[in-house]
Amino acid sequence: MLISEYVFEIYPNKNLMTIIKNITYFALIMLAFLRSAIPSETNQEFNLTEIAKNNYVHTGNHASIEGIGNDDIANIGFIVGNNCVAVIDTGGSIKTGEKLKNTIRKITKKPICYVINTHVHFDHILGNKAFLEENPNFVGHKDLAEAINRNRDFFLTQFKNNLGPKAKASDVIGPNILIEESTRLELGGRTLTLIPFSISHSYNDLIVIDNKTKTKT
Ligand SMILES: [Zn+2]
């Protein structure tokens, strides 16, 4: 059966051209809707703002933690010193971590000496793996390593799309430097002060202060 015959069978009293036009309009409207509803990887810029000298923030999207785009809902960033770079949180997926790393590399070739995680929530830590080959120190609250260990299976199950189909436990990376009290990190002409809290947004929150510009994360 030809499409025109099929259309006439359904709508025997309507003009064929009008029906085809309406179907075409409908298809175009649906296409436009779908394009706006599904984020396009290729068209999306990885936003970045220099909020203070050599202090950069990527602002996460407003999205459900269970929906499309949940891997980029946290505000993350980095600070560039004379000697090296400190990353502060890495996003909710390895892909988001890679976008952050690629963005850093457009700005500076200095080594990434620290990846600091402010707390255990997935949207701040699952991008850590993207920085592994840079060989940084991973830094977190004294209780962060244990919190990641407790949640590792949950992350692998609940956020398997964010970690990739072949993800394994070792892809969820915890800290090798644990912060128990107010601690200073040197980036060269740039000092960060890290202050741990026992109960705050989580049970392992760490505030990062850029001493030079007084910005806090
Ligand atoms: Zn959180």
According to the model, what pLDDT value does residue 39 have?
41
The stretch 169-176 carries a mean pLDDT of: 96
Q: How far is CA 139 from CA 56, 70, 102, in A?
A: 19, 24, 21
DSSP string spanning 102-126?
A: HHHHHH--S-EEEEE-SSS-HHHHT
- Ligand 1 geometric centre to CA of 60 (Å): 12
Distance 2 CA to ligand 1 centre (A): 57
Ligand 1 centroid – CA 4 distance (Å):
57
Q: Which residue matches tokens 């912060």? A: 179
Q: Whats the size of the chain, residue-wise? A: 217
d(CA 169, CA 103): 27
User: Cα(20) to centroid of ligand 1, in Å?
Assistant: 51
Residues 109-153 have pLDDT tens digits of 999 999 999 999 999 999 999 999 999 999 999 999 999 999 999
Dihedral, CA atoms, 24, 27, 29, 34, nearest 10 degrees?
A: -160
> If you measure from the C-alpha of residue 30 to the centroid of ligand 1, how many angstroms do you get, rounded to a whole number?
36
**Bigger pLDDT: 65 vs 189:** 189
Task: State the DSSP code for 31.
Answer: H
Q: Please, what is the Cα angle at 145 between 143 and 150, to 5 degrees?
A: 95
- Distance, in Å, from the CA atom of 174 to the CA atom of 45, rounded to the nearest integer, reads 28
Would you give the distance in Å from CA 153 to the centre of its chain?
Answer: 20
- Band of pLDDT at residue 197, cut at 50, 70 and 90: very high
**Separation CA 62–CA 54 (nearest Å):** 26
**Other beta carbons less than 10 A from residue 138's beta carbon:** 23
Q: Judging by DSSP bridges, how do beta strands 49-52 and 183-186 pair with one another?
A: unpaired
- 72-114 pLDDT per residue, tens: 999 999 999 999 999 999 999 999 999 999 999 999 999 999 9
Q: Distance from the CA of 123 to the center of ligand 1, in angstroms?
A: 7
pTM of model > 0.95: no
**Encoded tokens for 36:** 């706006």
Name the more confident of 149 and 69.
149
Q: What is the enclosing helix (H) or strand (E) of 8?
A: helix 3-10
Query: 82 CA distance to ligand 1 centroid (A)?
Result: 30
Task: Tell me the CA–centroid distance for residue 15 and ligand 1, in Å.
Answer: 58
> For residues 131 and 1, which has the higher predicted lDDT (pLDDT)?
131
Encode pLDDT of 17-57 as tens digits: 555 565 555 554 444 444 444 443 444 689 999 999 999 99
- Give domain limits for the chain: 3-37, 49-216
CB 38 within 8 A of CB 45: no
Distance 202 CA to ligand 1 centre (A): 7
CATH of domain 49-216: 3.60.15.10
Q: Tokens 């436009």 — which residue?
A: 32
